[in-house]
Chain A
Amino acid sequence: MSDRMKALYTVSLGEPETHTLGRVELREIPIPEPGENEVRIKVAYATICGSDARFLKGGLGSDDAFIRSGLPRRMGHEISGVIDKVGPGAESFGWKRGDRVTGNFMHFCNACHYCRSGNEAFCTHAVMHMDAMSEYVVWNVSQLYRLPDAVSLMDGVLTEPLSVSLHAVEMAQVKFGSRVAVFGGGGIGMLAIALANHKGASHITLFEPVEAKRELGLQFGADAALDPTAPGAVEEAMKYTDGLGYDAILECSGAASAAKMALNILGIDSHAVFFAMYPEKFELGVNLFETMYRRQAHLHGMFNSSDLFYKAVRMLPLINVRPLIQKVYAMEEYEKAFEDQLSGRFAKIAFRIHPEGLEE
């Protein structure tokens, strides 16, 4: 085996003012060696997250200068693969060459205030492993999760987005019999629908402007799929709840109009979770009398999966996630892959880096 590998890099950010997109390059770099308590993963699949494409669009607001200073930067944080080499000490944690794994791209410090108060997602010293779109990565054992035998490497790549959806559905307190609304039919929304369905939600409505995604939503277990831009969408949605409103609302579209619409379908004592990268200057007007007093609604914010990977891998065998992956590309086809991602037409696009089961 050669000591070089291919890896995708963001080399420039987009400039929304001049409508120029950021640039991606496939580069050759040395294959990394695992250090103490680390393993090297031979990457099988890495999927594109909406946030990857966001760099290419640009307009990152206050993050812009920070991201720009880190260019060129590696890409990808949704991963599946096979352990290829274990560093010193990793074996004592039960890991060995050949293990099929996924992982949390955040390597927590376990020393800061947030790590030590059960809020690791906000770790102030986390090392971010945004490098999954490459042939090999070296990650710490504390980031690894074993894939169940029944889960393919292709499906296992969706563990990170599944853990995000799982956190949102838990935060919205979806229970047996809950009526659930999901705004945004991307990967996160689809997985939220599947999880809510698995938890015994009695009705799920998806709001999504793209027809193909509405169709996919029904396939994932939504009972109804509405176009939020169509007149009367709110009235139609309320009919499904006998006019009572929804018990749990998951806003993962990131669209200001959807976030506002979510406030109009809240049931009494309902929970709404807003978990998307909203426009930085967007402010949601909440009528406190109607929403918080009269309806006793609970509005939640959410940052990321809050380290719920351990639950997500257990749920993977129970959910058919495969229809989400609508395009599979080789790393060399990155231009087409990101073009498809930016088109907004596909739920999930994957890079097949080392096909399943391949041994050198």
Chain B
Amino acid sequence: MSRTMKAVVYDAPGREHASLRQVPYPVCAADEAIVKVAVSGICKGADGDHDTTGTPQSSYPVTPGHEFGGVIAELGSAVTGWKVGERVTADPANFCGQCDSCREGKNAYCTDAHYMGHNLNGSFAEYVRVKAAKLYRVPENLSFDEISFAEPVSCCVHCIRRLDVKYGETVAVLGSGCSGIILAQLLRHAGAGRVIAIAGTQEKLDILARYGVETIRMDRNDYSFHESALRSLCPRGVDAVVEATGSPAMVSSGFRMLKPGGRLIQYALLREPLTLDMMPIWGGEKSYLTSCCEANDFPMAIQALAQGWVDVKPLITSRYPLDRYFEGLDEALHNHRNLKTLIVP
């Protein structure tokens, strides 16, 4: 009888098509490694979408999960430079290197990409199969919990690289979810002069205040409150805004808080169409940028974690065994105090 392992499987989008069950232990190809998963974080966006509409990159059936840490259990015959037992994580994005985007040096827009937890089986399982070229060693001073944030931190590094912060700039971060907190911490190490977080939950802002981020608690029913609080800190407005709430109304608010010539980067996914009052944006020559992924950002993200530029420990709000994955997912999606839920096989 062939070997099996426990894994979460979505046969199709939607909870009704999902189950926790025994599946075949993965077969390791020559250029691959099998990693025994130590811990795997829930991504509210992607893992929430599997549970409803599915993700655009996915092919089903699939095991979700793309933020993880673990130990190498097996190595393919052609793999060199790695040893069984090493502590690792892996970049879930596998770019083809062949398509026009990849060959233009823009592999973030690869048209034949394979993503763990979308169209490759992911880490909500006892073991996960990855390309050895995508492995990264866990620095000695980081735990598996911390390294499981390498992927979300990579996405934030990507955002800050696209924003191209200049020395002394004042940057406002809208939203203090998991990503908002990581983004604000990273901005403190990206040359910004001041970082101001604007969000509605005091306890999340309190986390940021520990890292030297200025905070404004917003009134969700009256945006003029945080906009005027911001003007009292920076009468001319801010140089850049990072929008990490995904709310169209907050995008408009962000543009109102920008200086002329400023730029707003959309980090959070906007699920609804957006209507903008363009006159002041046009008249102020304000720019709208977006950041939706990570590409080649893992090394910097791991370094930011290892150097303590990003402290992710306060973000871990709950932990569930793999057997109770769906309970953990429900909590991550519906408890507004939740920042990050970790799943332990």
Asked if A200 lies at the interface with its beta carbon under 8 angstroms from chain B, I say: yes
Cβ 8 A contact of A318, one of B164, B193, B300: B193
Name the residue in A176, A310, A314, A315 with the highest tally of chain B Cβ atoms < 10 Å from its Cβ: A176
Judge whether B303 and A177 touch: CB under 8 Å: yes
User: Taking the nearest CB of chain A, how far is it from the CB of B233, in angstroms?
Assistant: 12
Q: Which B residues touch A169, using CB under 8 A?
A: 167
Q: How far is the CA of A33 from the CA of B157 in the complex (A)?
A: 52
Cβ 8 A contact of B157, one of A176, A195, A311, A314: A176
Asked if B166 lies at the interface with its beta carbon under 8 angstroms from chain A, I say: yes
Q: Which A residues touch B189, using CB under 8 A?
A: 198-200
Asked if A356 lies at the interface with its beta carbon under 8 angstroms from chain B, I say: no
Judge whether B300 and A170 touch: CB under 8 Å: no
- If A200-B190, A200-B191, A200-B309 touch, whether A170 touches B166 (CB-CB below 8 Å) is yes
Judge whether B161 and A202 touch: CB under 8 Å: no
Q: How far is the CA of A315 from the CA of B167 in the complex (A)?
A: 7
- If A170-B166, A195-B167 touch, whether A315 touches B193 (CB-CB below 8 Å) is yes
Q: Which A residues touch B190, using CB under 8 A?
A: 176, 199-200
Return the CB mask of A211-241 against B: 1 if under 8 Å, else 0: 0000000000000000000000000000000
Q: How far is the CA of A54 from the CA of B257 in the complex (A)?
A: 48
Counting residue pairs across A and B whose Cβ atoms lie within 8 Å, the total is 51
Residues 300-331 of B at the A interface (beta carbon under 8 Å)? 300, 303-304, 309
Q: Which B residues touch A177, using CB under 8 A?
A: 299-300, 303
Residue tally, chain B, CB below 8 Å to A:
20
Q: How far is the CA of A170 from the CA of B194 in the complex (A)?
A: 18
Judge whether B161 and A311 touch: CB under 8 Å: no
Cβ 8 A contact of B167, one of A166, A176, A202, A317: A166
Judge whether A311 and B167 touch: CB under 8 Å: yes
- If A176-B300, A200-B304 touch, whether A314 touches B194 (CB-CB below 8 Å) is yes
Residue tally, chain A, CB below 8 Å to B:
20
Judge whether A312 and B157 touch: CB under 8 Å: no
Asked if A175 lies at the interface with its beta carbon under 8 angstroms from chain B, I say: yes
Judge whether A198 and B168 touch: CB under 8 Å: no
Asked if B160 lies at the interface with its beta carbon under 8 angstroms from chain A, I say: yes
Q: How far is the CA of A311 from the CA of B193 in the complex (A)?
A: 8
**DSSP majority for the A interface?**
helix
Q: Which B residues touch A198, using CB under 8 A?
A: 189, 191
Closest to A313 in B: B168
Q: Which A residues touch B170, using CB under 8 A?
A: 314
Judge whether A202 and B193 touch: CB under 8 Å: no
Q: Which B residues touch A310, using CB under 8 A?
A: 168
Q: Which B residues touch A313, using CB under 8 A?
A: 168
Closest to B303 in A: A202
Closest to B170 in A: A314
User: Taking the nearest CB of chain A, how far is it from the CB of B80, in angstroms?
Assistant: 17
Judge whether B168 and A202 touch: CB under 8 Å: no
Residues 164-195 of B at the A interface (beta carbon under 8 Å)? 164, 166-170, 186, 189-191, 193-194
Q: How far is the CA of A170 from the CA of B164 in the complex (A)?
A: 11
User: Taking the nearest CB of chain B, how far is it from the CB of A214, in angstroms?
Assistant: 21
For this complex, 29 residue pairs linking A to B, each with C-beta atoms less than 8 Å apart, are A166-B167, A169-B167, A170-B166, A170-B167, A175-B161, A175-B164, A176-B157, A176-B160, A176-B161, A176-B190, A177-B299, A177-B300, A177-B303, A198-B189, A200-B189, A200-B300, A200-B304, A200-B309, A202-B299, A202-B303, A311-B167, A311-B168, A311-B193, A312-B168, A314-B167, A314-B169, A314-B194, A315-B193, A317-B193
Residue numbers of B with Cβ under 8 A of A are 157, 160-161, 164, 166-170, 186, 189-191, 193-194, 299-300, 303-304, 309
Known: A169-B167, A177-B299, A308-B167. 6 other contacts (CB 8 A): A177-B300, A199-B191, A200-B190, A310-B168, A314-B193, A315-B167
Q: Which are the 10 A-B pairs with shortest beta-carbon distances?
A: A314-B168, A314-B193, A311-B168, A199-B191, A177-B300, A311-B167, A200-B189, A202-B303, A315-B168, A200-B190
